[in-house]
């Protein structure tokens, strides 16, 4: 077996190094997580820019929703193509290509002279966001030592919230002269940083092994693992898992032992979006502006929302393994429900009154804080914990796709709902979905804190009254497949 042990053996220095990821891993995670920052920035920056784009292009509610949702529709396509592209061309090349799309899309949107031109720029950004949302966590997970994988992959979610906050700050910085082109164009800077950074990073060891390039995989493992790690044994394990995963298709998510996990993973993505979070992220300045605030004041208030979102997300990362998933999730969802009720009440009060304005701003801040430590962090974390190993990647992809589809639906309907059933009706509709979500998840979601992934998947299988564990089902399926023709499983 290959080993990453220097001459002289393992001493105190090696043990100290093993307590934290080395500099190479940290740099690789931070650079690739710029894709998450761009995800947050390009989805959030339109919220402030829309206040100035609307009069310049004479946009109706439908036109405004088209500008927002064009990116999200393209993100669905980007997410669908990101996985196959990264498997074929590699994670690094896919992220480098996404960085180019981020830069080109930002330039196209910022220089738009017509509505269709702006839409094209937003579509390019959406393709980049969709691909990055799939590939960034995969690259970080594959480059990280197992001991630090959870914290480093969570960096993706943190960077998304940082990107949203940064977009609000940029919006406010250029709001004094209505500089929406500068707002959209600012995305070029992190896009270039991602492109340049990825040029100096290697491919992931898992991709190298999939391509039969074992020596290059071992080289990356030696750079990214603590001194003393048996990188040869880890490479063998990666090969074993990769071959097991290759035997399965998306239809295996419907197997009796896996179906309870699929319902939870897709369900939490569904309720994540139907709680209305992106009605707040994309349209908060518009909501606040329509309540009687000036454009700059609306964007400044929205910046406060972004700051709360980022701060609470950081706190949640420290609490999630101490408090547990269920307590945080259900406490947060209950507060989200109360905030949505309060937001609806704010619109029943006389418009422009101090009480309605305070209730509106306070409701938005409470809403985003409660969402950040519950549904916001749970969607990505739980989708990585509840599935059996052999279908974990496909299960997480199903959750991500559900997220993007309903993100698009919310973004393309929120202003229509405001006009047809009033803002009060809209927020209370989202609240009704939260109630259903609490009931659904309370009955189905197990606590995953302090449990192995195998224990979690076995628990879910038992809830489905399946006598075999997911691992036993997987093993028996493999044995059966060895007797089938290669074409049968596709």
**Measured distance CA(134)–CA(85) in Å, rounded:** 10
Alpha helices, DSSP H, located in 9-148: 12-17, 23-32, 34-56, 61-89, 91-110, 115-143
Instruction: List Cβ neighbours of 268 (8 Å cut-off, separation of 6 or more).
Output: 375, 378, 379, 382, 383, 399, 437, 441, 445
* Helices 149-173, 23-32: inter-axial angle, 10-degree rounding: 50
Q: What is the pTM of this model?
A: 0.79
Segment 448-452 long-range contacts (CB within 8 Å, at least 24 positions apart)? 448/325, 448/382, 448/385, 448/386, 449/320, 449/321, 449/323, 449/324, 449/325, 450/321
Q: Rounded CA gap, 68 and 278, in Å? A: 10
Measured in whole angstroms, how far is the alpha carbon of residue 386 from the centre of its chain?
17
Give the pLDDT band (50/70/90) at residue 6.
very low
Q: What six digits make up the tokens of 476?
A: 């028996």
CA atoms within 13 A on the CB side of 88: 5
Q: How confident is the model at residue 253 (pLDDT cuts 50, 70, 90)?
A: confident
Question: 18: helix, coil or strand?
Answer: coil
pLDDT of residue 11: 42
Indicate the SS3 state at residue 347.
coil
Helix 259-274 crosses helix 392-411 at what angle (to 10 degrees)? 20
Sign, CA dihedral 402-405-410-416, equals: negative
pLDDT tier at 200 (50, 70, 90 boundaries)?
very high
Burial class for 94, CB neighbours closer than 10 Å (0-12, 13-18, 19+): buried
Higher local confidence (pLDDT), 485 or 379? 379
Asked whether 447 and 326 are in contact (CB, 8 A), the reply is yes
Q: Please list, in sequence order, all residues whose beta carbon lies within 8 angstroms of the beta carbon of residue 394, skipping any fewer than 6 positions away.
A: 248, 249, 250, 252, 253, 387
Closest by CA position to 276, among listed 141, 424, 140, 139: 424
**How many whole angstroms from its chain centre is CA 32?**
14
Residue 480: pLDDT band with limits 50, 70, 90: very low
Where do the domains of the chain lie, and which CATH numbers do they carry?
A: 19-201 (1.20.1250.20), 251-481 (1.20.1250.20)
Question: For a pLDDT cut of 70, what percent of the chain falls above it?
Answer: 89
- Kindly give, in sequence order, each residue whose CB lies less than 8 Å from that of residue 484, ignoring residues fewer than 6 positions away: none
Cα separation, 403 vs 380, in Å, equals: 10
Q: How far is CA 237 from CA 79, 241, 242, 283, in A?
A: 28, 6, 8, 47
Q: Torsion-angle region of residue 465: left (phi > 0), alpha (psi -120 to 50) or beta?
A: left
pLDDT value at position 19?
A: 61
**Res. 27: pLDDT tops 80:** yes
Q: What is the predicted pLDDT for the residue at 12? A: 40
Lowest mean pLDDT among 310-314, 391-395, 440-444, 468-472: 468-472
**pLDDT band for position 231 (50/70/90)?**
confident
Residues 238-263 have a mean pLDDT of 81
Distance between CA 264 and CA 445 in Å, rounded? 7
The helix/strand/coil state of 275 is coil
Q: How many helices (H) and strands (E) does the chain have?
A: 22, 0
Residue 21 has, within 13 A of its CA and on its CB side, a CA count of 23
CA–CA separation, 247 and 484 (whole Å): 12
Residue linked to tokens 């592209």: 85
């Amino acid at each position: 077996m290959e080993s990453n042990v220097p001459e002289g053996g393992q001493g105190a220095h090696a043990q100290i190094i093993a307590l934290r990821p080395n500099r190479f891993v940290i740099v690789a995670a931070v650079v690739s997580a710029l894709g998450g920052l761009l995800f947050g920035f390009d989805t959030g920056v339109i919220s402030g820019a829309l206040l100035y784009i609307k009069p310049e292009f004479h946009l109706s509610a439908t036109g405004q929703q088209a500008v927002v949702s064009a990116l999200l529709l393209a993100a669905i396509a980007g997410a669908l193509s990101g996985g196959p592209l990264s498997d074929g061309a590699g994670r690094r090349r896919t992220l480098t290509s996404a960085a180019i799309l981020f830069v080109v899309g930002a330039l196209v949107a910022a220089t738009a002279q017509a509505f269709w031109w702006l839409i094209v720029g937003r579509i390019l950004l959406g393709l980049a966001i969709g691909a990055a949302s799939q590939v960034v966590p995969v690259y970080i997970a594959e480059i990280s030592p197992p001991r630090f994988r959870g914290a480093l992959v969570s960096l993706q979610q943190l960077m998304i919230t940082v990107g949203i906050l940064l977009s609000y700050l940029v919006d406010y910085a250029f709001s004094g002269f209505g500089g929406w082109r500068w707002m959209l164009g600012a995305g070029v800077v992190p896009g270039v940083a991602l492109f340049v950074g990825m040029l100096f990073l290697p491919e992931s060891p898992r991709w190298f092994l999939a391509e039969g390039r074992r020596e290059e995989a071992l080289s990356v493992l030696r750079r990214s693992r603590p001194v003393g790690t048996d990188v040869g044994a880890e490479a063998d394990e990666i090969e074993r898992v990769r071959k097991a995963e290759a035997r399965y298709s998306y239809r295996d998510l419907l197997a009796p032992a896996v179906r309870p996990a699929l319902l939870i993973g897709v369900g939490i993505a569904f309720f994540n979006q139907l709680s209305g979070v992106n009605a707040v992220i994309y349209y908060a300045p518009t909501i606040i502006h329509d309540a009687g605030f000036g454009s700059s004041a609306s964007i400044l208030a929205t910046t406060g929302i972004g700051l709360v979102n980022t701060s609470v997300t950081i706190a949640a990362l420290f609490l999630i393994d101490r408090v547990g998933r269920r307590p945080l999730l259900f406490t947060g969802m209950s507060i989200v429900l109360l905030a949505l009720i309060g937001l609806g009440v704010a619109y029943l009060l006389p418009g422009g009154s101090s009480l309605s304005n305070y209730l509106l701003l306070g409701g938005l801040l409470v809403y985003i804080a409660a969402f950040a430590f519950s549904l916001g962090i749970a969607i990505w974390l739980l989708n990585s914990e509840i599935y059996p190993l052999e279908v974990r990647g496909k299960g997480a992809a199903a959750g991500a796709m559900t997220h993007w589809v309903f993100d698009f639906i919310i973004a393309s309907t929120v202003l229509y709902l405001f006009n047809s059933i009033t803002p009060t009706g809209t927020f209370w509709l989202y609240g009704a979905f939260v109630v259903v979500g609490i009931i659904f998840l309370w009955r189905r979601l197990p606590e995953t804190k302090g449990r192995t992934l195998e224990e979690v998947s076995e628990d879910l299988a038992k809830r489905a009254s399946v006598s075999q564990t997911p691992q036993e089902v997987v093993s028996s399926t493999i044995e059966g497949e060895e007797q089938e023709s290669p074409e049968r499983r596709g």
